[in-house]
Chain A
Amino acid sequence: MTPDKPQHILRPVRVRTIVASFALALVADFLPWPNVSLAPDFVALVLAFWCVHQPRLVGLGVGWVLGLLNDAGNGVLLGQHALAYALLAFGAITLSRRIRWFSAPGQMLHVALLLAAAQAVEVAVRLAAGAEFPGWQVFVGPLVAALLWPVADLALLAPQRRPAEADEARAL
């Protein structure tokens, strides 16, 4: 929605696109990454994306449930991701109208901050629960995820960028 560039008028989003993207993101999160602290959190990225683009469909409730699934699947403290994702969804929804006016680098900056804040919440929760600080490289993951924002833009909005089917029976 940058003012200086022509934009597609997007078709309305379909709920099954959103559901499929969240399922794929969860699968990506469960992949056996060689270094977990450098791997981006795909669920957080996709959640932030839909919160920015569809703030009325995807919100805190969706984020919270996804966080619980992520917690259980990864066997970490139950509620850790849920809290972080709820805060992330809140931030993304609050900033959604602002973020959509920026070009890609500006959007990535905003998203990097949001994702890093969510990661900081997770770190704070674990430190409070008695864990050892795992090192600053845990904040590399959110940065990598923010770099993937244009990819998410391309992939997740692709179904809405389809040209409208030509309707032969229409008069005009």
Chain B
Amino acid sequence: MEHTPPPFFKRGPAPVVRLAFFASLSIALLLVDARFRTLDELRSVLATAAYPLQRIATAPVELAERAAGFFASQTALRSENAALKARLLQEAQTAQRYEAAAADAVRLQRLAGAAERLRVRSTPAEILYTGRDPFARTIIIDKGTQQGVRAGSPVVDDVGVIGQVTHAYPLVSEVTLVTDKDEAVPVQVVRNGLRAIAFGAGDSGMMDLRFMPPNVEIQAGDQLVTSGIDGTYPPGLPVATVVSVERDATRSFARIACRPAAGVDRGRYVLVLTDEAKLPPYPAKERERARPPRPAREPHRK
């Protein structure tokens, strides 16, 4: 028996039905995206559609910066010029020494029969804006797959490692900073060659060395550089400086806090290292027995 009169106006399904429909659709999308990462194609299409909007959004800021740069006083420019010249001299010395040392290293490696390392190719990129996601520490840069950026490429600035490309879209890429909680960088202590893995510490903008025993030979002030054994980061890039080491014998691990070397939260220009380091594949037998632990996490989005 029908007790309610037919609706006066045609209004489609009831709001609750629509809510159930869209909520289940969203949850399905979430599950598929979080578990299987099969939506990257769709994500890339949508990101390309959003690209003009993003450029428009950042245009006023860029314009303001350009205007500010135009009106920079001459004295400021002069002093900056002088400082840069002095720095260039210093760097030139270092670079000459580096050239010589690199040539030596190549010769020695050839002697030792080691695989010849290719020079790393790099793509300069500009930071468009920080990722609008309070849960992850990311930035968006203005180079994408069309310029050869791939997910997994390391990103550096003039001082050291900034992070790793976690999503490469056609025109922009998302870079997860080394200070993100889930970002890991395999490092080596310059002083004694000790290998470790540096994790981001999240909001504090610092990094941690996790899972090191309390008696580990690390002290405050130690420089950490990439070890290069992961095949993602080329070796020898500065990553962080150890700030404090807390050794507590009752705990299983020491607490080692490090400050990132690069201007992770500063600067506008970065370099994306687009050549993958050449490492021979894992031996087949090893792979069968157990999946080898990967020092650098796969590009992974939270």
Let me know if B25 and A134 touch, CB within 8 A: no
Give the secondary structure class of B's interface. Answer: helix
Let me know if B133 and A36 touch, CB within 8 A: yes
Let me know if A83 and B27 touch, CB within 8 A: yes
**Interface presence of A131 (CB below 8 A):** yes
**Of B46, B57, B135, B174, the contact of A69 (CB 8 Å cutoff):** B46
Sample of 10 A–B contacts (CB below 8 Å): A32-B130, A36-B130, A71-B46, A72-B42, A72-B43, A72-B47, A72-B50, A73-B54, A76-B133, A83-B30
Distance A33 CA – B61 CA, assembled complex (angstroms): 10
Residues of B127-147 at the interface with A, using a CB-CB cut-off of 8 Å, are: 128-136, 138, 140
Q: Nearest Cβ distance between residue A87 and chain B, in whole angstroms?
A: 7
Report if A78-B133 is in contact (Cβ < 8 Å); known contacts: A60-B19, A86-B23, A135-B203.
no
Set of chain B residues within 8 Å of A23, measured between Cβ atoms? 53
Report if A37-B134 is in contact (Cβ < 8 Å); known contacts: A56-B11, A83-B26.
yes
**Of B29, B136, B138, B174, the contact of A82 (CB 8 Å cutoff):** B29
Set of chain B residues within 8 Å of A68, measured between Cβ atoms? 46
Residues of B25-80 at the interface with A, using a CB-CB cut-off of 8 Å, are: 25-30, 33-34, 39, 42-43, 46-47, 49-50, 53-54, 56-58, 61
Let me know if B134 and A30 touch, CB within 8 A: no
Let me know if A73 and B53 touch, CB within 8 A: yes
Set of chain A residues within 8 Å of B27, measured between Cβ atoms? 79, 83
**Interface presence of A27 (CB below 8 A):** yes
Partner-B contacts on A (CB < 8 A): 23, 26-33, 36-37, 39, 56, 59-61, 63-64, 67-69, 71-80, 82-83, 86-87, 90, 93-94, 125-126, 129-132, 134-135, 138
Nearest opposing residue in chain A for B40, CB measure: A78
Set of chain B residues within 8 Å of A64, measured between Cβ atoms? 22, 25-26
Let me know if B15 and A60 touch, CB within 8 A: yes
Distance A32 CA – B302 CA, assembled complex (angstroms): 21
Let me know if A60 and B47 touch, CB within 8 A: no
Partner-A contacts on B (CB < 8 A): 11, 15-16, 18-19, 21-23, 25-30, 33-34, 39, 42-43, 46-47, 49-50, 53-54, 56-58, 61, 128-136, 138, 140, 167, 174, 181, 202-203, 301-302
Set of chain A residues within 8 Å of B130, measured between Cβ atoms? 32-33, 36
Let me know if B167 and A75 touch, CB within 8 A: yes
Nearest opposing residue in chain A for B34, CB measure: A129
Nearest opposing residue in chain A for B166, CB measure: A75
Report if A131-B136 is in contact (Cβ < 8 Å); known contacts: A60-B19, A79-B27, A86-B19.
yes
Set of chain B residues within 8 Å of A90, measured between Cβ atoms? 15-16, 18-19
Distance A59 CA – B13 CA, assembled complex (angstroms): 12
Report if A126-B135 is in contact (Cβ < 8 Å); known contacts: A32-B129, A64-B22.
yes
Let me know if A61 and B11 touch, CB within 8 A: no
Nearest opposing residue in chain A for B18, CB measure: A60
Report if A77-B302 is in contact (Cβ < 8 Å); known contacts: A27-B56, A72-B47.
yes
Let me know if B53 and A78 touch, CB within 8 A: no
Which of B16, B133, B138: most chain A Cβ within 10 A? B133
Nearest opposing residue in chain A for B47, CB measure: A72
Set of chain B residues within 8 Å of A31, measured between Cβ atoms? 57-58, 61, 129
Set of chain A residues within 8 Å of B49, measured between Cβ atoms? 69, 72
**Of A27, A60, A126, A130, the contact of B22 (CB 8 Å cutoff):** A60
Report if A73-B46 is in contact (Cβ < 8 Å); known contacts: A32-B128, A82-B29.
yes
Q: Nearest Cβ distance between residue A117 and chain B, in whole angstroms?
A: 13
Which of A26, A59, A87, A129: most chain B Cβ within 10 A? A129
Report if A82-B22 is in contact (Cβ < 8 Å); known contacts: A69-B49, A77-B30.
yes
Let me know if A30 and B22 touch, CB within 8 A: no
Set of chain A residues within 8 Å of B22, measured between Cβ atoms? 60-61, 63-64, 82-83, 86
Report if A30-B57 is in contact (Cβ < 8 Å); known contacts: A83-B26, A126-B135.
yes
